[in-house]
Amino acid sequence: MNCLLRYPLLLLAYWIAAGVHGSRILCLSVGVHRSQLLVHLAVARVLLQRGHQLTLVTSQPLERDWLTANVTHLLLPWQLPREQVIEPHANFLTRLQWTLERLEKSGELLDQPEWREFMEHTPSTPYDLLLLGYHFNDHLLGVAAHFNCPVAIITTQQPIGFVHSLMGNPEERWYVPQPYDSRQRTGLEGYIFGLWEKLSELLARRVMQRIYSTHFPSPQYPSFEEMRRRVILALNNHHMVSEGPIGPLLPNMLDIGGIVMEQMERKELNLPRRPFIVFSLGTRFSWLTMPGKVEKAFVDAFAQLRDYDIYWTYDGANASTIHLANSHVHLEDWWPQAQLLAHPLARLFITHGGKGSLSEALYYGVPMLGLPLLGDQRPNLRKMQNKGWGLSLDIHNVSQAELLCSIKRLLNEKQFRESIRRSSLLYRDRPLNASDLAAYWLEYVIRHKGAPHLSGNARHLNFWQRHLLDVRLAVYGPLGMLGWLALWLNRKLNCNR
C-alpha cells in the first residue's frame, strides 16, 4: 500500500519539477552589439543556474566557459552592415531612410545556410520558450511561430516606443521622455516628437512585416500581427523606480537592470593597493581612429595624477611608450571593467556613457566623467550629469587643462560620490533581485503554458480604437461643428441687425 502510494506521488513530484526545471529554452541574440549580448547572456546564465536546457543562437563567438553540458550553441557569423557614421547635421528624413535601408538587410540572416539547417532539422515543438534579444527584429517572432512556443523579449535599455506598442503600454510622451532624446522633450514638443516617432515606427514595422511574410508565409504560419500579440513578457535592462522616468507600464514589463552585474564572473585581479581610475570608451571605439592630439591631452593629464593608478582600455599604437613614461598608467586591450568598478578603491570612471557602462557605475556607486561618442550616449550622459553623478566633456576638442580640472573636481569634491552612492542604494533596493525576478517570471510563463492571461486588452484593438480616435471624432466632431455653427449664426445675426 505504502509503496503503491509512493510511486504516483514521486511521479507527480517529478512531473511538477520537470514542468519547470528541465525546460528547453531557445535564446536568440543575433545581429547585436557586444554590450547587448552581455545582457542577453546574463538572463541565459540565470536560466542555466536553474537547471534548464539552453539553445543559444548568437552571431558572436562565446567564451569557452559557456560550452557546458546544458548548452547547445549555434554560431551564425552574420552581422548587419556597419552603421553609417551619421553626420550630425543630416536631416531626419535622410537618417530615417538610412535606418530603413539597413533594416531591409536584416532578413539576410534567415537565408544563412546554418540558420536554415537549424530551422529544418530541429524537430517541431521542442522548445518551451523563445527568449528573443529584441532589437528591431520583430520578424524573428516567426521562430516562435515555427516552434509553436511562447515568447519573451529582452531589451537593453529603458523601453522605447517600439516596445510600448508591442506590449500595449499607453505612451504618454507629454510627461515620459524617451531614452534617446537628448533634449528629454515633454509637453507639446514631446507629443509631436512622439507622433514623428510613431510614423517612423510604422514604416519600420512594414519592412519587418515584409521580411516576416517572405520567410514565414501564411497560411502555414500565423500572421505577423498575431505573432506580435503573442509576446508575453518584456525584460528590460532598466530600473524605472530608481532611474526614471516613471511612466505607466503593464505588469508584464519587468525591470531587470543590474542583472549583468549580478551574473558577472569574478576573476582573480591583481590590483595594487592604491586608489584608481578606470578609463574605457566601449567596444565600438578605437584609439586608432583618434587624432594624436586627443590622446596626448589624456596622457598629459594623467601624467599629473601620480597618486592614482589608471586602468586604460587602449588599442592604439603607443601603449609601451605611454607606460614607460608613466608607470602608473596601465594600458590593455581589455580590462574587466565591472570588476574594477566593483573594487572599493575605484574612485572615478571615465566613460563614453553606453547604457551598460552607466549601469555598472550606478550599481557600484562610482562617479563618472562622460565623453559621449554616438547614439544614445549623449542623452544618457546628460541625465547622468543632471543627477549629479559626474561631469561631461566633448572628446573632440578636449584640452589637457580642461581634463585635469574636471578629473580633479570629481576626485576631490565629495558631492559627486555621495550622490551616486545614494542612487546606488536605491538601484539595489528591490523586493527581488533582477536574477530572481527574471527566473520567476520566465518560469511562470513556462508553468502556465505561455500565460496568455498576462496580455493586456489594448493589444487586440486596432490603431484607431487604441488611440480612441473613432470615439473622439464622434464626440468632438459634432461638438466642434455645433460651436462653429453657433459662431457663424451669431455673426450673421449681428451683421443683419
Ligand X SMILES: *[C@@H]1O[C@H](CO)[C@@H](O)[C@H](O)[C@H]1NC(C)=O
Listed ranges 67-75, 90-98, 236-244, 360-368: which one lies at the site for ligand X (CB under 6 A): 67-75
CB of 109: closest distance to ligand X in angstroms? 29
Stretch that binds ligand X, among 180-188, 242-250, 405-413, 431-439 (CB under 6 A): 431-439
Of 379, 392, 377, 391, nearest to 419 (Cα)?
391
Number of residues that bind ligand X (CB under 6 A): 21
Rule CB under 6 A: say whether 19 interacts with ligand X: no
Half-sphere exposure of 146 (CA within 13 A, CB side): 20
CB of 102 to ligand X, least distance (A): 27
* Residue 126 lies near ligand X (rule: CB under 6 A): no
Q: What whole-number distance in Å separates Cα of residue 282 and Cα of residue 353?
A: 9
Amino acid at position 426, single letter? L
Taking the least distance from each CB to ligand X, the nearer of 43 and 384 is 43
* SS3 call for 23: coil
29 binds ligand X (CB under 6 A): no
CB of 47 to ligand X, least distance (A): 10
Residue 79: its H or E element = none
Element (H, E) at 283: none
Q: In whole angstroms, how close is the CB of 10 to ligand X at the nearest point?
A: 17
Q: Single out the residue of 182, 262, 343, 385 in contact with ligand X (rule: CB under 6 A).
A: 262
Residue 5: CB minimum distance to ligand X, A: 26
By DSSP bridging, strand 276-280 and strand 346-351 are parallel
Interface stretch with ligand X, choices 221-229, 278-286, 288-296, 403-411 (CB under 6 A): 288-296
Residue 419: burial class (beta carbons within 10 Å; 0-12, 13-18, 19+): middle
Which residues have C-beta within 8 Å of that of residue 178, sequence separation ≥ 6? Answer: 158, 160, 161, 193, 197
Binder of ligand X out of 19, 22, 336, 388 (CB under 6 A)? 22
C-beta of residue 486 within 8 angstroms of C-beta of residue 478: no
List 186, 223, 318, 385, residue binding ligand X (CB under 6 A): 318
Amino acid letter, residue 35: S
**Shortest reach from residue 297's CB to ligand X, in Å:** 9
**Rounded to 5°, angle at Cα 14 from 10 and 16:** 120
Using CB under 6 A as the criterion, which residues of the chain lie in contact with ligand X when the complex forms? 22, 51, 53, 68-70, 262, 292, 295-296, 299, 317-318, 321, 394, 397, 399, 402, 433, 435-436
